[in-house]
Amino acid sequence: MERVVWDLAQAFCARGIRTTVVTSAIAGRTGRFQIDGIDVVAIEEARDGQYSKAFWKGTLNAFDMLCEEGLDAVIGVSAGAREIVLHRTNRTVPVLMQAHGSSIGEFVSKWRRPTARSILGSARNLVWIFKDRHVLSRYDAIVAISDLVKRQIRWTSFLSRSHAPVEIIANGIDERLFAFEPPARRKARQAYGFDDTHQVIASVSRLHRQKGVCELILAFDIFARSNPGARLLIVGDGPDRNTLEALVRDKGLASRVVFTGALARSEVARSFAAADVFSFLTLRVEGLPLNMLEALAAGLPSVLARSVAASIPPQAGIFTVDPRDQEAVIAAFAHACEFAARGGRTQLSDAYRLEQCASTYLELIRRTGRR
């Protein structure tokens, strides 16, 4: 979500629009400052990455301050603007919610592969379903990043007396960052120890059991037995990294699987350049994952969980599977590698380009401000 917001803020700034990002505490930075032309207000009392009373109080204070300076609109990411819509005194400034998912989606995801911890966490999501229903009608408009998220938002608010209008604006990708370039590909493959004979499947995600990386490794293990040039590039970090690395060792795949850890955005682009195929076998209820859109921007044939592939238009080079159907995943790997070997590339449609995303937001803000 942070990457989506920052990219959108940069797109606004590039058009000469003054943009302020209000966020939780940032290590080594305090108060108000600028990064890449974007004003940043860091709420010092709010812990990084967590909603809290201090965070919501800080957002309301920032809203009042920015209204005095001249504010045209607020885009609250998930529940970030909750306190603003509940307690604002200035109701002439439209407040939009950018919804990447929902409490319903989180609840369902945790019960797909239940553990004691996920079951306990789902109780919190259940409480938030009713909290969300109360607050959703207070927004001037809600932006869902996919049709799935729109349906979840509608379902959450179906008992409310009023409904905020819900529109779909897909996440926008700066396709220039991920554009395929042969020289970059050669350099990236050399850096990871891959040569021209290797078939490289890349995974980019948080290393969490719900992201399907375990299923990916198990399917790759069988695929690699009949494909000696197969290699797996796993980008990301998370609580299951040690478990996944142990699984790779146990399967005797240590020489064929590369774990990169967490990477900066430019390095993620380099990992895509090194790959022949992208795979995302998430078990979660996802909205519109950025990794999938970035892989399409890089032109990579993709093996995707059916649940996330449903959020984008079908095209040649996208192979959809049930992540738990290992035979289907292995067959999809083979088809995707064959597609790549023939020079096949995927494409990012205009609806998912950053410039289109920014333009659609600005038009929505104009329409909302006139209501």
Judge whether residue 118 has pLDDT over 60.
Answer: yes
C-alpha distances in Å from residue 185, one per residue of 117, 196, 230, 291, 339: 41, 10, 17, 18, 18
Contact 141, 124 (CB under 8 A): no
Please state the three-class secondary structure of 124-165 as a single string: HHHHHHHHHHHHHCCCCEEEECCHHHHHHHHHHCCCCCCCCC
Per-residue pLDDT tens over the stretch 298-347: 999 999 999 999 889 999 999 999 999 999 999 999 999 999 999 999 99
Question: Could you tell me the pTM of the whole model?
Answer: 0.85
Q: Contact at 8 Å (CB) between 291 and 280?
A: yes
DSSP state letters, 265-326: HHHHHHHHHH-SEEEE---S--S--HHHHHHHHTT--EEEEHHHHTTS---TTEEEE-TT-H
CA angle 367, 369, 371 (to 5 degrees): 75
Domains of the chain (ranges plus CATH)?
1-172+353-370 (3.40.50.2000), 176-350 (3.40.50.2000)
Element (DSSP H or E) covering residue 110: helix 103-112
User: Do 39 and 52 form a contact (C-beta atoms < 8 A)?
Assistant: no
Which of these ranges, 34-43, 94-103, 258-267, has the smallest mean pLDDT?
94-103
pLDDT for 113 equals 64
pLDDT score recorded for residue 33: 94
Structure tokens at 328: 């289907």
pLDDT band at 124 (very low <50, low <70, confident <90, very high): low
Write the pLDDT tens digit of every residue in 107-117: 556 556 667 66
